[in-house]
Amino acid sequence: MLLRLTRFRLKTEWTRIFWFLFCILIWAGVFMMQVRIPADYNSYQSYVGMAGGTAVNTALGVSETENGAVSRQELERYLAKYRDFIYRQILMNNSVTGFLVGNALGVMLICTPLNRRKAAQLLSAGYSRLRIFLSLILAYYLVMGAIWLGASRIMCLKYPLIFAAEEREYYRATQLSWLVLTLGRVSLCVFCAFLLRGPLKTYLAAMFIELTLLLKTDRLPYFLPSAYLREALWQPGADLNVLLRGCWVSLGCILAAVLASWLAFRKRGLE
C-alpha cells in the first residue's frame, strides 16, 4: 500500500521529472565548472599550451614532441598519473551543490504537497497520517538517490578513470559512501521542509543552518557527514574505516531527521 501511494504520487506529479533532469544537469554542470582538470584531448592540448609543453612533459616524465604538439598517449598517461587526485575532486567538489539540489527537492516534493493540501486530500481519502508521511519521505530519498546516480555517472564519465579488478571493491565502497554521505547531508532539508511552512522560508532556513555548519566543520568533524570527504584516503588499499564512520554518522543524521520530521508532521495541521 505504501509503495502504491508513492507510485501514485510520482505518476501524478510526472511533470516534475523535467525538474529532476534539470537538477542532474545543474549538479554535474557546477562540478565541471569547479574542477578545471583536462578530461579530453582538446582541453589537454590547451592545458599544455598554457602551462608550457616543457614543464608538463618534465612533470610527467615524457619526451617533448615536435612543434609543441601532444599525443593522446600523453593524455592517458596524465589521467593515469593523477587518477587519485581527480577521483578525490569528483567526490569533494560537488558536496555543496548536492545540498542545494536536495534543498530544492525538499521544497518540491514535501513543501508543495503540504501547502497545496494534497496531503489533506489523501487523509480525507482514508490514508493514515503515518502512510502519507512515509510516502513523502520515501519519494524524497528515492528521487534524491536517482538524481545523485545520474549526476555522479556524468561526473565519472567525464574523466575516463580506470580501476583494476583488484580495485573494484575500493571503487564500490567509495561510491556507496558517497551516496550515503550525500543523503545524510540533505537530511537537514527534509526536517526543515516538515517543520516550517512556506517554500521560501524552508529554503532560506535550511541554507542558513547548512552554511553555518559548513563554517564549523573543523570544530565538529565527527558530527557532520561532509567532514569525512576531506580525509586524504582516496588511494586503493587505503584504510576506509574513516568512510565507514562517516556512513554511520550519515545514517544517524537520516534517522534523526526522519524521527524529528514525523514529530513535526504529527503536530502540523493539514487543513
Q: Could you report the per-residue pLDDT of 146-190, keeping only the tens digit for each? A: 988 988 888 888 877 788 887 888 888 888 888 888 898 888 888
Q: Where residue 70 falls among pLDDT bands split at 50, 70, 90?
A: low
DSSP H helices, 82-128, are 83-92, 95-106, 112-115, 118-124
pLDDT band for 219, please (50, 70, 90 cuts). Answer: low
Q: What integer pLDDT is reported at residue 223 of this predicted model?
A: 63
Q: Do 62 and 77 form a contact (C-beta atoms < 8 A)?
A: yes
Q: H-type helices in the chain, by residue range?
A: 2-12, 16-34, 41-51, 53-60, 72-81, 83-92, 95-106, 112-115, 118-124, 129-158, 168-185, 187-195, 199-215, 241-267
Confidence of residue 224 (pLDDT cuts 50, 70, 90): low
Residue 255 banded pLDDT, cuts 50, 70, 90 = very high
pLDDT digits (tens, 9 = 90+) for 131-147: 888 888 988 999 899 98
Which has the higher per-residue pLDDT, 143 or 63?
Answer: 143
Q: Among 46-50, 179-183, 256-260, whose mean pLDDT is lowest?
A: 46-50
Q: Is the pLDDT of residue 15 over 70?
A: no
pLDDT number for residue 42 = 72
CB-based contact 191:264 (threshold 8 Å): yes
pLDDT of residue 50: 64
- Name the amino acid, one letter, at 271: E
Cell of 101: 539540489
Question: What percent of the chain is predicted at pLDDT more than 90?
Answer: 5
Which residue type sits at 269? Answer: G
Mean pLDDT (whole number) for 71-89: 76
- State the average pLDDT for the chain: 76
Note the pTM of the prediction, 2 decimals: 0.79
Sorting pLDDT into bands at 50, 70 and 90, what band is 258?
A: very high
Q: Which residue has the higher pLDDT, 112 or 176?
A: 176
Q: How many Å apart are CA 200 and CA 210, to the nearest integer?
A: 15
The pLDDT of residue 93 is 66
Q: Give pLDDT, residue 119.
A: 67
Helix axes 129-158, 16-34, angle to 10 degrees: 40
**For residues 220-242, average pLDDT:** 67
d(Cα 233, Cα 211) in Å, to the nearest integer? 25
Q: 101 or 89, which is more confident?
A: 101
Can you tell me the mean pLDDT for 217-221?
A: 61
Task: Give the separation between CA 90 and CA 178, rounded to whole angstroms.
Answer: 10
Over residues 36-59, mean pLDDT? 65
